[in-house]
Chain A
Amino acid sequence: MNTETKEKLSPFHTTILVHMIQTGVMALILPQLLAETFGTNGWITVLGFGLIATINILLIGAVYKLGKGRSIFQILEQSIPKFMLVPVYLALAIVWSMLGCMAGKEYILIFQMYAFPTTDPMEFKFIMDLLVFWLLTKGLYNITKASTVFFGLFVWMFLLLFFFYTDFSWSRLTPFLFKGGHFTYLESMDIYSSLLGYEVVLLMFAYTNKKTKFVKSVLIGNGMTTLTYSYLSIVTFGVFSLEQLKNKAFPVLEMLAYIRFPFMERMENLLYGFVLFTVLFSILMYEWCALEVLKQIFPKLKANFLAFIVMLTCFLIAYIPKTLNEVGDWLSTLSMIESGIAFGLPILLLVVLMFQKMGRSPAHE
């Protein structure tokens, strides 16, 4: 495990990792949410949400620059006594680990609509958690390596969107902007949550150096996600009519079902499996964050043991919500909190850093 401290993240891997964390189950639901919330041409808002995420990343970048690459724990613990931080850490750990856990459960429940309807979802969840745990014990550097390979196994699926060129029609997009939707803050938060995942980089400061070009690579990763999401959404909007889209629970899966090769049909059965590769990283990195925080609380315990505890808790918590709707509700609540953290934590850190600067400069004079 000591290779982890030696090897720093490279820009490319950081970009890919951020992209992989961001892309997740939400991509399957995203077009429906967009149609529901914004109506016609709702796909344009993805770019707007991407911009918000960009601002958030710049905020994180400011922390990185001002903190001179110190990890956020070092920054916090310099100014705030540890006993005050422990509850905060604990809360963060709980939110993050639950978020990962619910994303996993949702993925599995959706899969069960298509196959294995009567198998206990927790069997799948168990294997999935096993994989996550395995990756978790390998350390961040190996995680990024794995993410690159998984990215390769996943990214070709975007080529499948070319299948829809015959059924895609611009006139179906309509010239109207955001008409016929029903805007609610809650739903738009849900849409934003599909871009969440970049905030994980807050905890990666310690694994970077100058060569990482940290902020730039994270921004590129976020840009990639934004573009692929908009591309996906624009195709969906052009293939389905608006009201139809609003009525689809998983429009992207429906599109995959449409793909047919001479040797294989109903590709959603297989391709939905490939979505696992990116979902795995969304789960993994939230659990990783929880683990990083827990490491701060319990410096004496071994990382692998902590990882085991995290995954075990997750697995047990995943027993509570049983239906897809329940999981969805948990997920939206959690992602709302997570959006708060994504903005709140960097701001808190910036404030702390300001104080540190003010405190230090007179002392130096």
Chain B
Amino acid sequence: MNRLPISLLAILMLVVLPGCDYRILERIGFTYAASYDAAPQNQVEITVSIPRAEPTIKVKRELHSAIGQSSKDARIKFANETDLLLVNGQIRVLLYSEALARKDLSNEINSILRDTSISPLVKITLVNGNAKELLSKNYKQHLSTDKYINRLLEKSSSNHRIPRTTLYEFERDYYDDGIDPIAPILKEAGEDIAVDGIALFQDYKYIAKISNRDALLFSILRGKFKKGDMSLVLSRGEDGSSSEYIMFTSVLSNRKVHVERRAGGTIHVTINANFKGSVHEYIGNKKLSVDAQRHEVESKVSEIMTESANRLVKQLQLHKVDSLGIGIHVRNSMSYEAWKKLNWREEYQKVEIECKLHFKAKDYGKIR
């Protein structure tokens, strides 16, 4: 009966009450990548890269940078320099310089976490050197630098050259008391950007670095994954001619962590990792089609890998960074009170960690 006036009223109100928070696509400048550098007096220098998509102008991106107390402080400064409404909702990459990360990233990370418009899938990366320079430079043979970095990180993490470190994972590992966060490190390499290794954090503080060479090993030790490739020198011949070399791809791996308390209160942790791969290259005198000989190669690979894994773990223990999440397993093996009493950061160094890696060749290509 009185439905008509009500619906008319509703339509009227809708016309009268439009929201005023327009974020019309072409009038906003969405930061795609941002870099953070340490500046004097505890300030930070922030650089943002904003892609432009105007067909009429040739500029591909806008760069702004400012020094301020906090990231938002700097943001206000460079907001004055652009005709676009600056927003954070499309940030894909955050670059922090190593120098800043060595101090502490907690202020920067927290201000990002508070911002509802920033996606939890933002990638967090350290830069070996000056982050601003890395982001500002145009790399001739590549896409726009911000996109180049983003795609590089995506590709590298998909084949486990580096671990996937989004804001979500970084924060999760920070808050978890049994694991420490990690992040990839990039560096400028002439006309390219290259992955430099994996940064190991203690809370939000950058402590040490794993070199590129050990990256895949690190990934194997850290958990399950499906893709990656690796090359190993199995033995070096005396004269260099009869050296044995192997390369395998599409590694499937899983790991099991076994914790036991030995007599005397020491904690003994065994990491069992099985990984399978297809052999793509093999230089040596063994015939892979012969079971016995292949097993020999396999055990050789396992042996070498185990050895370097143990070395890697020792290195981690030395730096007191539990990036592999051994703490989670130790924690889950004991009672809550005992865990709380344990100062894991200190205890970690004393834990006996033994890695056992087992390699299996799934197949060995077209040659028998």
Whether B176 contacts A243 by the Cβ 8 Å rule is yes
In B153-182, the 8 Å CB interface with A consists of 168, 171-177
B19 at the interface (CB under 8 A from A): yes
Residue of A with least CB distance to B337: A179
Q: Given that A171-B332, A172-B328, A244-B172 are contacting pairs, would A114 and B117 also be in contact in the complex, using a CB cutoff of 8 Å? A: yes
A265 at the interface (CB under 8 A from B): yes
Which residues of B sit under 8 angstroms from A174, Cβ to Cβ?
A: 331-332
Whether A244 contacts B13 by the Cβ 8 Å rule is no
B89, B176, B177 interface centre (most CB from chain A within 10 Å):
B176
**How far is A114 from B117 in the complex, measured between Cα atoms in Å?**
7
Whether B175 contacts A247 by the Cβ 8 Å rule is yes
Which residues of B sit under 8 angstroms from A244, Cβ to Cβ?
A: 171-172, 174-176
Question: Among B21, B176, B328, which residue has its beta carbon within 8 angstroms of that of A115?
Answer: B21
A156 at the interface (CB under 8 A from B): no
Which residues of A sit under 8 angstroms from B328, Cβ to Cβ?
A: 171-172
Question: Among B20, B171, B329, which residue has its beta carbon within 8 angstroms of that of A119?
Answer: B20
Q: Given that A113-B116, A134-B6 are contacting pairs, would A118 and B21 also be in contact in the complex, using a CB cutoff of 8 Å? A: yes
**How far is A242 from B177 in the complex, measured between Cα atoms in Å?**
9
Q: Given that A113-B116, A242-B175, A244-B176 are contacting pairs, would A258 and B332 also be in contact in the complex, using a CB cutoff of 8 Å? A: no
**How far is A260 from B171 in the complex, measured between Cα atoms in Å?**
19
Whether B176 contacts A241 by the Cβ 8 Å rule is yes
Which residues of B sit under 8 angstroms from A247, Cβ to Cβ?
A: 175
Stretch of A42-50, A123-131, A279-287, A353-361 at the chain-chain interface: A123-131
A225 at the interface (CB under 8 A from B): no
**How far is A304 from B2 in the complex, measured between Cα atoms in Å?**
10
**How far is A265 from B2 in the complex, measured between Cα atoms in Å?**
42
Question: Among B19, B168, B176, which residue has its beta carbon within 8 angstroms of that of A123?
Answer: B19
A257 at the interface (CB under 8 A from B): yes
Which residues of B sit under 8 angstroms from A117, Cβ to Cβ?
A: 21
Whether A240 contacts B121 by the Cβ 8 Å rule is no
Smallest CB–CB gap between B106 and chain A, Å?
12
**How far is A80 from B117 in the complex, measured between Cα atoms in Å?**
56
Residue of B with least CB distance to A241: B176
A266 at the interface (CB under 8 A from B): yes
Smallest CB–CB gap between B110 and chain A, Å?
10
Q: Given that A119-B20, A134-B6, A258-B168 are contacting pairs, would A265 and B332 also be in contact in the complex, using a CB cutoff of 8 Å? A: no
Binary contact track A95-135/B, C-beta < 8 Å → 1, others 0: 00000000000000000011111110001001100100010
B119 at the interface (CB under 8 A from A): yes
A152 at the interface (CB under 8 A from B): no
Which residues of A sit under 8 angstroms from B2, Cβ to Cβ?
A: 304
A175 at the interface (CB under 8 A from B): yes
B10 at the interface (CB under 8 A from A): yes
Which residues of B sit under 8 angstroms from A258, Cβ to Cβ?
A: 120-121, 168
Whether B332 contacts A114 by the Cβ 8 Å rule is no
**How far is A115 from B117 in the complex, measured between Cα atoms in Å?**
9
Whether B19 contacts A119 by the Cβ 8 Å rule is yes
Smallest CB–CB gap between A218 and chain B, Å?
32
Which residues of A sit under 8 angstroms from B24, Cβ to Cβ?
A: none
Whether A179 contacts B21 by the Cβ 8 Å rule is no
Which residues of A sit under 8 angstroms from B336, Cβ to Cβ?
A: 40, 176, 179-180
Residue of A with least CB distance to B328: A171
A254 at the interface (CB under 8 A from B): yes
In B287-332, the 8 Å CB interface with A consists of 328-329, 331-332
In A260-275, the 8 Å CB interface with B consists of 260, 265-266
B15 at the interface (CB under 8 A from A): no
B17 at the interface (CB under 8 A from A): yes
Smallest CB–CB gap between A138 and chain B, Å?
10
In A137-193, the 8 Å CB interface with B consists of 167, 171-172, 174-176, 179-180
Which residues of A sit under 8 angstroms from B13, Cβ to Cβ?
A: 126-127, 130
B59 at the interface (CB under 8 A from A): no
Residue of B with least CB distance to A257: B120
**How far is A117 from B115 in the complex, measured between Cα atoms in Å?**
12
Residue of A with least CB distance to B168: A258
Whether A254 contacts B175 by the Cβ 8 Å rule is no
Smallest CB–CB gap between B263 and chain A, Å?
23
Whether B120 contacts A254 by the Cβ 8 Å rule is yes
Binary contact track B203-219/A, C-beta < 8 Å → 1, others 0: 00000000000000000
Smallest CB–CB gap between A337 and chain B, Å?
31
Which residues of B sit under 8 angstroms from A167, Cβ to Cβ?
A: 168
In B72-124, the 8 Å CB interface with A consists of 89, 116-117, 119-121
**How far is A281 from B55 in the complex, measured between Cα atoms in Å?**
48
Which residues of A sit under 8 angstroms from B168, Cβ to Cβ?
A: 167, 258
Smallest CB–CB gap between B4 and chain A, Å?
13
Whether B6 contacts A241 by the Cβ 8 Å rule is no
Which residues of B sit under 8 angstroms from A130, Cβ to Cβ?
A: 6, 10, 13
**How far is A130 from B10 in the complex, measured between Cα atoms in Å?**
8
B8 at the interface (CB under 8 A from A): no
Smallest CB–CB gap between A41 and chain B, Å?
11
Smallest CB–CB gap between A257 and chain B, Å?
5
Residue of A with least CB distance to B22: A116
Pairs across A and B, CB under 8 Å, 12 listed: A116-B21, A118-B21, A119-B21, A171-B329, A172-B328, A180-B336, A242-B176, A244-B176, A258-B120, A265-B121, A266-B89, A304-B2
Binding site for B on A (CB under 8 A): 40, 113-119, 123, 126-127, 130, 134, 167, 171-172, 174-176, 179-180, 239-244, 247, 254, 257-258, 260, 265-266, 304
Interchain residue pairs A-B with the least CB separation, the first 3: A241-B176, A244-B175, A243-B175
Beyond the given pairs A257-B121, A258-B120, 16 more chain A to chain B contacts, judged by CB atoms under 8 angstroms and listed by A's residue number, are: A114-B117, A118-B20, A123-B19, A126-B17, A172-B328, A174-B332, A179-B336, A241-B176, A243-B175, A244-B172, A244-B174, A244-B176, A247-B175, A257-B120, A258-B121, A265-B121
